[in-house]
Amino acid sequence: MIDIRTEAQAEARTVLLEIDGKTVTVDRGASVLDAILSTGQEHPHVCYHPALGPIETCDTCIVEIDGKLMRACSTPVEDGMQVRTKSVAARYARKEAMDRILKNHELYCTVCDNNNGNCVLHNTVMQMGVEHQAYPFTPKPYEVDMSNPFYRYDPQQCILCGRCVEACQNLQVSEVLSIAWDREVPRVIWDNDVPINESSCVSCGHCVTVCPTNALMEKSMLGEAGFLTGIEKPTLDKMIDITKKVEPGYSSIFVVSEIEHEMREARIRKTKTVCTYCGVGCAFDVWTKDRHILKVEPQMEAPVNQISTCVKGKFGWDFVNSPDRLTKPLVRKGDRFVEVSWDEALDVIERRIKDIQAKHGYDAVAFISSSKATNEENYLMQKLARAVMHTNNIDNCSRYCQSPATEALRRTMGLGGDTGSIKDLELADLVLIVGANPAEAHPVLSTRLRRAQKKRGQKHIVADVRRNIMATRADLFIQPRQGTDLVWLSAVTKYIIDQGRHAEAFLRDRVNGFDEYVKSLEKFTLDYASEVCGLRKEEIIRVAEMIMEAERVAVCWAMGVTQHRGGSDTSTAICNLLLVTGNVARPGTGAYPLRGHNNVQGAGDMGCAPPFLPGYERVDNEAERRKWEKLWGVEIPTTPGLNNHQMVDAIHEGKLKAMYLCGEDMAVVDANANYVEDAFRKLEFFVVQDVFLSKTAQFADVVLPAAPSLEKEGTFTNTERRIQRLYRVLDPLGDSKPDWEIIQMVANRFGANWHYSSPREIFEEMASAADLFRGASYDRLEGYQSLQWPVLPDGSDTPLLYTDGFAFPDKKARLYPVDWTPPIEVGEEYDLELNNGRLLEHFHEGNMTSRVPGIHEKVPETFVEISPELAKERGVTDGALVRLVSPYGSIKVRVTVTDRVSGKHVYVPLLSHADEEAVNRLTSSDHDTVTYTPAYKEMRVRMEVIQSCGEPPVKRGNFRLGKPNPQPGVNVEQKWARKDYVPLVTDRALVKEG
């Protein structure tokens, strides 16, 4: 019985058709092109891309289906279909289609920078065996657009396939590119036909990546990729002419270009890496020629991003070759740093730290690890602290961002990580985004949400004090007062329960503490929430209704929630809401705190926090501690360690004398920067390990030159708990070294006797003991493979958490009552509400991205966003110079007037080149009551006008000044409607009429 049903289901899922006389079985919903390709047979197609779907502009995939000529890419398979790929009519149609394409494109492959074996057009022409083209190439009346610093558009080479348009409109969803089909000679245009650099283009690189020709190319490739492409332009043009005149048939030309491509393979290295910027975890190949970065080439196998990137991942790597790189260890001597050998630097570290340990004890030294560093390096850093330096004073910068979210997840569900994958976010029917700006801070993740919204009708609710990019596109946008999210979230939860729409069965079977929790909600009435949050009651009800109506709900949140005094509690309120509505542990649902750095998750996972050993095993749990003691052959101290907030206080109190900090610009990114800097001044000894002489490093006694991600091996763990390997793209510059090598050298000066020869050995040691990673290994992470923890000993991983129960002994989640902590109060004269955050183009304070010339050109300086109302009230315009003053400090920045902020709300990006621009000079030392995460997002300031007008800080070239041109896609119907278009497919409408 069961067997029959399974068979029937299997049949319903698959389709049987005939291709060139052979019977083929494929999944229902597949296209005829999928079916043909599934047989291993090659079949031409140019505009179709697996990440974009059928675009239907190129006609090169036409086949005969049941006697009619149809596009294979857009025709779904049907039972009993007869497909003929080799019929004369189909072959004629495809040749004609290719001839029409070649009219738009000069084939000078050997001298083309795109001749790298992956040129779709080149490969298709070769595969089709085209020898000559029927229509000669006709130049288009347009110039090459070189205005964007990162890529160019050459209309002469553009075949108008529309892949770029589809990627921009429906994958990235920035809605900038379109094809002007109504022109006599169509072309791709940006916005309403402005130069690329003056459009709303965010330089994400999607269009360049999907272009099947050299029309859209990375500028870093031009004249660099080929052996002959660097030839002077007039000579090159003549060579192209000769080749065309001689024209012995394309197959001969292709032989030469294939040989040239083979030669390129010898000198272009293609190495997989994982992005060093945000926590999304994009992976891609980096193409290099010696130290020159030719381009970033995303791959379909990349589990998170496939072909997607943002401006930083695609174009933001020039900093690795910056002349500012530290290439030798530095030691402070008087009023300057002096370059010294590694031995000399290590001598100083050994002598000074041993001296301080002898005088003040082991706990007078503290360690800060880095969410930019690999898992292996973070593991070694905490091992150095605990096993070699005998202290639990170890922390990392997740304290500054996501500790409250981790705390909330551990309170309610058990594990401190996102409950699902980005795929679940794509699948959700409703995504609630609270205090997060993913379009700028997690760009590739936001593309998945925007695509789901545009293509599938996914609903978005955005709750934010600022009208960010996601808010402008949201189905519902609410603007609660700063620091009041817990209140409206609780009111929404209470309303849902009051309506009897909570997930009763789920709560009964899988959750504890419902009754007690309901009691705790009593005060969160609509009236109360409306008053506290400044929202209308209808808005709160609408949020609740949308949640109740949706089958699958996911919540994304970030710093707007966590960086408050009540950050952990607000995060908990989100988890409670998800539990009450049963939106966890099912595909398309869950809790997604969006991790800020590439390896914030990993730094925590590896035990870089005072109470935790790797895998969140506890120092104060004797059995767990003993396990690690046995592995390391040492005794681990049990004295509780200091977190980084407490470290700063302990320096001021004179208890902490020395600090060893790796890859973290704490002087700029910690709140209340003036207080932190004063602490650094008081340190007796300070070691900083970094790629550049950061603000923090300027306070150091010894600076150790570290290698950035491109110069080392290791693993990063992204926001979905996904572990991915990065490979060494370049050798470390000068005498700089990967952090793991440096940490090992330091450890060995203190008698550690470590002999790690590669990150693989470090990872294996970690995974051999940490239960969360038991089955993880470098072999299972080879290439683009990845694992989402927990990883079981058999190597199976867990993309979706809690499907067989929550991570508590009774497998039940816990509703955790929380109360509202009102935001910080300061004097009445501080009349403006200060917010801060990231910019798309720059990463955080800009240590890396400011050293990327193209990014610096687009966004050279920071600014303060003020509302049109405030500008009018204070009599200032764009470009005015103002001083913002809080009780903790002041900064001087230029004004940009924008409706992204309203009323008395102001926004300052984190980008800070100069001391007087760093927003953290304004923030306080107040913090989340549970995790000590600074309350960065709770401050009020006053504004003094220095100059009422000036040069606007948001310069030409900034995408924020552009005007997007939303379109459903490439609008191929407009192409088909053109008078000069003769259809190659059998027109079904005509057949019917006839």
Partner 1 sequence: MAEPIRVIERREETLEERRQRVLERLADAVVHEERAAERLIQLVALAEDKGLLPMLTALLERGDRVLAHVVDLLARDEYTSALQNAIGLAQALGKFNPDVLAKLVDGLAGGLADANEATAADRKPLGVFELLALLKDPNVSYAIRFLLRFLSGMGKALQSPGSSD
Angle at 521 between CA 595 and CA 501, to 5 degrees: 85
Tokens of 341: 């050998």
DSSP-assigned letters across all residues of 2-32: HHHHHHHHHHHHEEEEEETTEEEEEETT-BH
CB of 390 to partner 1, least distance (A): 25
Cβ neighbours for 955, distance < 8 A, ≥ 6 positions apart = 858, 859, 860
Smallest distance, partner 1 to C-beta of residue 730, A? 19
The SS3 call for residue 603 is helix
CB of 565 to partner 1, least distance (A): 30
Q: How far is the CB of 696 from partner 1 (least distance, A)?
A: 9
The token pair at 636 is 């681990």
**Cβ closest to partner 1, residue 367 vs residue 686:** 686
Taking the least distance from each CB to partner 1, the nearer of 668 and 880 is 668
> Least distance in Å: CB of 324 to partner 1?
10
Q: CB of residue 228 vs partner 1: minimum separation in angstroms?
A: 9
DSSP assigned state of 91: H
Which residue number, 238 or 456, has a Cβ lying nearer to partner 1? 238
Beta bridge partners of 254: none
Judged by beta carbon, residue 337 or residue 517, the one nearer partner 1 is: 337
Nearer to partner 1, 328 or 812 (CB): 328
Q: At closest approach, how far in Å is the CB of 353 from partner 1?
A: 16
Q: How far apart are CA 255 and CA 554, in angstroms?
A: 53
Shortest Cβ 131–partner 1 spacing (Å) = 4
59 near 92, Cβ under 8 Å?
no
Least distance (Å) between residue 889 CB and partner 1: 16
**Which residues contribute to the site for partner 1 (CB under 8 A)?**
91-92, 94-95, 98, 128-132, 231-232, 234-235, 238-239, 241-242, 245-246, 248-249, 252, 328, 330, 332-333, 335-340, 667, 677, 680-683, 686, 693, 695, 698-701
Specify whether the CB–CB gap between 842 and 855 falls below 8 A: yes
Residue nearer to partner 1 on the CB measure, 340 or 548:
340
Q: How far is the CB of 130 from partner 1 (least distance, A)?
A: 5
Q: Which is nearer to partner 1, 92 or 135 (CB)?
A: 92
**Closer to partner 1 at the Cβ: 235 or 785?**
235
Quote the CA–CA distance of 563 and 355 in Å, as a whole number: 38
Residue 941 CB-density burial (10 A; 0-12 exposed, 13-18 middle, 19+ buried): buried
- Find out whether 665 and 845 touch, Cβ atoms under 8 Å: yes
> Cβ of residue 347: shortest distance to partner 1, in angstroms?
16
What SS3 class is residue 861? Answer: coil
Residue 231 or 518 with smaller CB distance to partner 1: 231
| DSSP reduced 3-state for 366 | strand
Cite the DSSP H helix spans in 757-810: 759-769
Read off the tokens for 170: 């429906």
For residue 572, the tally of other CB atoms under 10 A from its CB is 26
- CA–CA separation, 916 and 863 (whole Å): 12
Beta strands in 464-527 (DSSP E): 476-478, 511-512
Minimum CB distance to partner 1, residue 246 (Å): 5
CB of residue 810 to partner 1, shortest distance in Å: 53
Q: How far is CA 23 from CA 19, 26, 28, in A?
A: 6, 10, 15
Q: Which is nearer to partner 1, 337 or 592 (CB)?
A: 337
CB 584 within 8 A of CB 501: no
d(CA 727, CA 639): 38
Q: How far is the CB of 59 from partner 1 (least distance, A)?
A: 13
Nearby residues of 655 by Cβ (< 8 Å), 6 or more positions away: 363, 364
Q: Which two tokens stand for residue 658?
A: 């020395």
Q: One-letter amino acid identity for 672? A: N
340 or 518: CB nearest partner 1: 340
Query: What is the enclosing helix (H) or strand (E) of 813?
Result: strand 813-814
Show Cβ contacts of residue 110 under 8 Å, excluding neighbours closer than 6 positions: 226, 228, 243, 253, 256, 257, 260
Tell me whether residue 377 or residue 677 sits nearer to partner 1 (CB atom).
Answer: 677
Among residues 596, 509, 587, which one has the least CA distance to residue 554? 587
Measured from the CB atom, the residue of 94 and 760 that comes closer to partner 1 is 94
- Nearest approach in angstroms of CB 705 to partner 1 is 11
239 or 949: CB nearest partner 1: 239
| The two structure tokens encoding residue 451 | 């695509």
Plot region of 756 (φ>0 → left; ψ -120 to 50 → alpha; else → beta): beta
CB of 722 to partner 1, least distance (A): 38
Identify whether the C-beta of residue 952 lies closer than 8 Å to the C-beta of residue 704: no
The CB-of-720 to partner 1 minimum distance in angstroms stands at 38
Judged by CB, which is closer to partner 1: 330, or 930? 330
Of 58 and 176, the one with the shorter C-beta distance to partner 1 is 58
Query: Distance between CA atoms of 163 and 85, rounded to whole angstroms?
Result: 24
Q: Residue 219's closest CA among 120, 153, 137?
A: 153
Q: How far is CA 787 from CA 241, 718, 783, in A?
A: 52, 10, 12
Cβ atoms of residues 627 and 769 within 8 Å: yes
Residue placing its CB nearer to partner 1 in the complex, 469 or 702: 702
